[in-house]
Amino acid sequence: MSTSPRTAFGLGVATQTNSGQILECYFHNLGLGSAPSNNADDDLSLLLGEDSIRKVKKIAVKTQINLDEKPKDVSDVYLRLHLLSHRIVKPNSVNLDGIFGILPNVVWTSAGACAVDGFEKVRHELQNKYGNMIVYGVDKFPRMVDYVIPEGVRIADGDRVRLGAYLSVGTTVMHEGFINFNAGTLGKPMVEGRISAGVVVGDGSDIGGGASAVANFAHHTSIVTGGARGGATASSTAYNGDGIDASYIIPGLIIEGGSPGSKALPGTYSLNPLFFTGGAGGAGSLTNPAWEGGDGANGSGGGDAGELWRKEWLLNHEGYAGLS
């Protein structure tokens, strides 16, 4: 039984260098399926033209893509990133294979996108023209806020959210929070830490300052969902796995995926500092951790020392005495 391909369209403007390289694309009209036949509302003529200082020109682009196939060119990639940030598609639902090899490095400035080659001369000419010119960065991905501002979100620092991030209504990204492309939120979280590509944070979860939610690159996806104590991930915590549910993770904990031990169950509390990989040695699950020091966290011993350390830690942190 054949299924219809998932397609999307985009109508917009691209920045093209004099050598023909597309630096970026801004889609003004986009959606799933095929482009409408009547594009009377898509007169982009006022946005087109040439910039002799930046040595680029603005050209109209009309893109039709298959979301399940690999991206083919820069405009294809940008359409997928726009679809994510406009909440038309969700993270991990479209093919993004090979995008780093497709996207060029770009100098992102207050005057617009510039090619890296020859930029120092361009910089001086732009400064002479505008008096003040800001370089935001040199990267393959632009800031989301320069292309899309989703309704109902707070973003304290636009540099911290890449185009292609998916921010649900009610999301707050504080100054040190970061959300990568193909990552984001499905609830109303407070994001003070890092949400890496492929990670989705569900409703009821917060990412605390200094915390990182990192996808398992073997599976390209992680899900952090809410539960006990709001499912908060606290400061200085690294999470690298396939999914963690209903847990309060205290600072200093590192959870590595790829084993049964990487899944925390509802009501779990994991205390600081513990490195847990759930390796072949059988260190125990997060509902009954080994509490081992040194290599014991990998299931290779040290259980007695770890148990003594655990009791001492609990005595010094009376707020967690009930977990003993």
| Structural contact between residues 183 and 91, judged by C-beta atoms closer than 8 angstroms | yes
3-state SS, residue 277: coil
- Phi first, then psi, for residue 41 (nearest 5°) are -85, 5
List beta partners, residue 65.
8
* Catalytic option among 24, 192, 256, 292: 192
Cis omega before residue 273 (within 30°)? yes
* Residue 125 known to be catalytic: no
Q: Map 47-91 to HEC letters.
A: HCEEECCCCEEEEEEEEEEECCCCCCCHHHHHHHHHHHHCCCCCC
| Structural contact between residues 147 and 82, judged by C-beta atoms closer than 8 angstroms | yes
Q: Of 168, 232, 245, whose CA–CA distance to 205 is shortest?
A: 232
Query: How far is Cα 145 from Cα 34, in angstroms, rounded to an integer?
Result: 26
| Structural contact between residues 155 and 145, judged by C-beta atoms closer than 8 angstroms | yes
Just list the catalytic residues. Answer: 192
